[in-house]
């Protein structure tokens, strides 16, 4: 708000929010992780910024397998789990392309938050206490201290939390510019500390890191234009396929959240996730059959064998194209729009909550555990249960496949909605369900965000849904042969819509998790 009030645009505000969340929301906001940003400027310019982490130069395909060939915990906990972070470079690229205020002005508010601290509410206390506990369980007491009172006791509501080391790091990024994170003594120190603690970062990996601007995936869906993220996120491909399937199966004729509607959507999602897991990876490393994967005719063929009355067992489903010879809820999403209609959809993560649970000594930088988003052992499940293939195997310098799906919806060339969510693989299905709720059922954004969510990712062969699923829907789906597992909630979709009649903004903070906020200026 402060940045918009000072005359900054939506991208300036998004950059400032990105840095602020690195201070206030350490379980997901970060400078030690990565993400994806989709931008639509009021003049119609579209951009997709890829700031996904990269495998360090010393990474190898089997680096997380023990002598028996089984994945070890090193893929998730500790410095070896971390890819080379992209967040600082990504926010800098967004600023360079579209920002209007000076860089330092966007980073300094985060410096103040870290240096002067902020008062912890109930949600924050729960979050940092959980983070510190996980770090201590992992044996990282020094890291835990950043998330505890100076006397080592857990924080309580009303405490002011300061992060002096992070403040110094952020101030260097503000004053010296974004490359201070990647080159020079800060980068050298981070690489040395990570390696000394068992990781494999080298200063040259950090120096080589660049955020990339990619061509966004743009397609039509029932009178709307969807602008979303291409690989190395799988999000856009999955969203495109689910929406093309929804159109082919005429889902919009079935009542919203009825057994018929959900059954067909789940069957489509299974098939699309077989493609996701076996065919996608970093486009700079593997060939991706993008034209086919995004074609309506291909999706129509893929969904032609769906039985409207019976679940197809996942074991009988595979990718629709032969793979080439050789991809909890601890991410965060924010949406920003300004008066002029410039829009940002940004999803960022450390992977699991508090990432690798390890803070680079002396810097306050909490690092990611994104390496588990690679297929650390192709053909076996990662922490999200995703069974991925060789396309997403570990290679030096490669970016691990993601599900993050920052998305912007246009209607008749005008901005209609900004959508996104955290939630690992459930991100893309959450986005697909919200887009369908708004486009197909004319739900307002708050109704769309509040609707029960269901997720199927091909393997394991079951629907994940939320506790609040209506009994009738649950029973109807079970009767058609679906296995169902319930979680308290899925995703945290902080979205904005522009009312097509009034052109007024409706900002929605998902209430399924606390900690979100919808604000207007």
CA distances from 299 to 246, 272, 427 (A): 10, 8, 20
Residue 88 has a CB neighbour count (10 Å cut-off) of 29
Which is nearer to ligand GLY, 109 or 420 (by Cβ)?
420
Strand, coil or helix: 142: helix
Which is nearer to ligand GLY, 254 or 399 (by Cβ)?
399
- Position among 225, 349, 392, 433 found at the interface with ligand GLY (CB under 6 A): 349
Nearest to 423 by CA among 510, 349, 328: 328
Listed in order, strand segments (DSSP E) in 128-284 are 160-161, 212-214, 217-221, 224-228
Which is nearer to ligand GLY, 342 or 392 (by Cβ)?
392
Which is nearer to ligand GLY, 331 or 494 (by Cβ)?
331
Alpha helices in 49-163 (DSSP H): 87-98, 103-116, 122-137, 141-144
What is d(CA 174, CA 186) in angstroms, rounded to the nearest whole number? Answer: 13
Task: Give the pairing of strands 212-214 and 495-498.
Answer: unpaired
Contact window for ligand GLY (CB under 6 A) among 5-13, 156-164, 401-409, 431-439: 401-409
Binders in 319-338 for ligand GLY, by CB under 6 A: 331
What is the closest distance, in whole angstroms, from the C-beta atom of residue 273 to ligand GLY in the complex? 12
What is d(CA 194, CA 187) in angstroms, rounded to the nearest whole number? Answer: 11
Which is nearer to ligand GLY, 9 or 403 (by Cβ)?
403
Contact window for ligand GLY (CB under 6 A) among 2-10, 39-47, 159-167, 399-407: 399-407
Binding status of residue 457 toward ligand GLY by CB under 6 A: no
What is the closest distance, in whole angstroms, from the C-beta atom of residue 392 to ligand GLY in the complex? 11
What is the closest distance, in whole angstroms, from the C-beta atom of residue 24 to ligand GLY in the complex? 20
- Position among 402, 407, 426, 457 found at the interface with ligand GLY (CB under 6 A): 402
- Position among 77, 227, 404, 415 found at the interface with ligand GLY (CB under 6 A): 404
Residue carrying the six token digits 């060339």 = 413
What is d(CA 150, CA 169) in angstroms, rounded to the nearest whole number? Answer: 20
Which is nearer to ligand GLY, 327 or 497 (by Cβ)?
327
SS3 per residue for 20-34: HHHHHCCCCCCCCCE
Binding status of residue 403 toward ligand GLY by CB under 6 A: yes
Which is nearer to ligand GLY, 89 or 264 (by Cβ)?
89
What is the closest distance, in whole angstroms, from the C-beta atom of residue 90 to ligand GLY in the complex? 13
Binding status of residue 282 toward ligand GLY by CB under 6 A: no
Contact window for ligand GLY (CB under 6 A) among 54-62, 265-273, 297-305, 400-408: 400-408
Binding status of residue 355 toward ligand GLY by CB under 6 A: no
What is d(CA 288, CA 403) in angstroms, rounded to the nearest whole number? Answer: 16
228 is known as an active-site residue: no
Contact window for ligand GLY (CB under 6 A) among 356-364, 396-404, 437-445, 456-464: 396-404
Binding status of residue 351 toward ligand GLY by CB under 6 A: yes
Which residue among the candidates 331, 332, 405, 430 is catalytic per the annotation?
Answer: 331
Which is nearer to ligand GLY, 30 or 342 (by Cβ)?
30
What is d(CA 436, CA 442) in angstroms, rounded to the nearest whole number? Answer: 9
Strand, coil or helix: 43: coil
- Position among 275, 373, 440, 497 found at the interface with ligand GLY (CB under 6 A): 373
What is d(CA 167, CA 121) in angstroms, rounded to the nearest whole number? Answer: 21
Binding status of residue 424 toward ligand GLY by CB under 6 A: yes
CA distances from 413 to 296, 325, 396 (A): 22, 40, 41
- Tokens for 368, please give them: 């990611």
Binding status of residue 27 toward ligand GLY by CB under 6 A: no
What is d(CA 484, CA 440) in angstroms, rounded to the nearest whole number? Answer: 25
Contact residues toward ligand GLY (CB under 6 A) are 331, 349, 351, 370, 373, 402-404, 424
Catalytic annotation, residues? 331
């Amino acid at each position: 708000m402060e940045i918009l009030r000072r005359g900054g645009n939506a991208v300036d505000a998004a950059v400032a929010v990105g840095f602020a969340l690195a201070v206030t929301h350490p379980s997901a906001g970060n400078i030690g992780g990565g993400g994806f940003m989709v931008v639509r400027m009021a003049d119609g310019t579209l951009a997709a910024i890829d700031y996904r982490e990269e495998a360090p130069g010393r990474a190898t395909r089997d680096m997380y397998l023990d002598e028996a060939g089984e994945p070890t915990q090193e893929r998730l906990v500790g410095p070896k789990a971390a890819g080379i972070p992209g967040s600082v470079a990504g926010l800098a690229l967004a600023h360079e392309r579209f920002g209007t205020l000076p860089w330092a002005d966007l980073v300094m508010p985060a410096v103040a938050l870290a240096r002067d601290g902020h008062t912890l509410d109930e949600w924050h206390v729960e979050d940092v206490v959980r983070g510190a506990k996980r770090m201590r369980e992992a044996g990282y007491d020094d890291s835990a201290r950043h998330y505890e009172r100076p006397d080592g006791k857990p924080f309580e509501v009303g405490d002011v939390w300061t992060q002096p080391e992070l403040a110094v790091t952020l101030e260097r990024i503000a004053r010296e510019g974004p490359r201070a994170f990647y080159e020079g003594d800060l980068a050298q120190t981070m690489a040395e500390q990570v390696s000394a603690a068992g990781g494999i970062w080298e200063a040259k990996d950090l120096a080589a890191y660049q955020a990339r601007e990619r061509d966004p995936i743009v397609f039509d869906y029932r009178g709307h234009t969807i602008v979303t993220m291409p690989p190395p996120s799988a999000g856009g491909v999955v969203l495109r396929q689910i929406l093309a399937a929804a159109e082919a199966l005429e889902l919009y004729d079935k009542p919203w959240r009825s057994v018929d509607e959900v059954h067909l959507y789940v069957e489509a999602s299974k098939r699309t996730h077989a493609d996701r897991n076996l065919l996608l990876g970093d486009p700079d490393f593997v060939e991706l059959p993008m034209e086919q994967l995004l074609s309506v005719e291909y999706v129509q063929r893929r969904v032609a064998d769906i039985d409207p009355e019976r679940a197809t067992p996942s074991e009988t489903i595979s990718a629709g194209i032969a793979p080439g010879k050789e991809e909890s809820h601890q991410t965060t999403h924010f949406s920003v729009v300004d008066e002029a209609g410039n829009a940002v959809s940004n999803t960022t993560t450390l992977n699991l909550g508090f990432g690798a649970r390890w803070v680079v000594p002396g810097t306050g930088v909490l690092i990611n555990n994104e390496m588990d988003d690679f297929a650390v052992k192709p053909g076996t499940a990662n922490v999200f249960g995703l069974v991925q293939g060789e396309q997403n195997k570990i290679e030096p310098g490669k970016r691990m496949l993601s599900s993050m799906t920052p998305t912007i919806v246009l209607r008749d060339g005008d901005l209609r909605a900004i959508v996104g969510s955290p939630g690992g693989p459930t991100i893309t299905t959450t986005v697909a369900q919200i887009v369908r709720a708004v486009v197909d059922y004319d739900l307002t954004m708050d109704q769309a965000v509040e609707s029960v969510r269901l997720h199927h990712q091909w393997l394991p062969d079951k629907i994940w849904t939320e506790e609040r699923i209506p009994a009738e829907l649950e029973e109807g789906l079970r009767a058609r042969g679906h296995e169902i597992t319930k979680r308290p909630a899925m995703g945290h979709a902080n979205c904005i819509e522009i009312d097509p009649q009034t052109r007024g903004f409706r900002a929605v903070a998902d209430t399924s998790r606390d900690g979100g906020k919808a604000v207007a200026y």
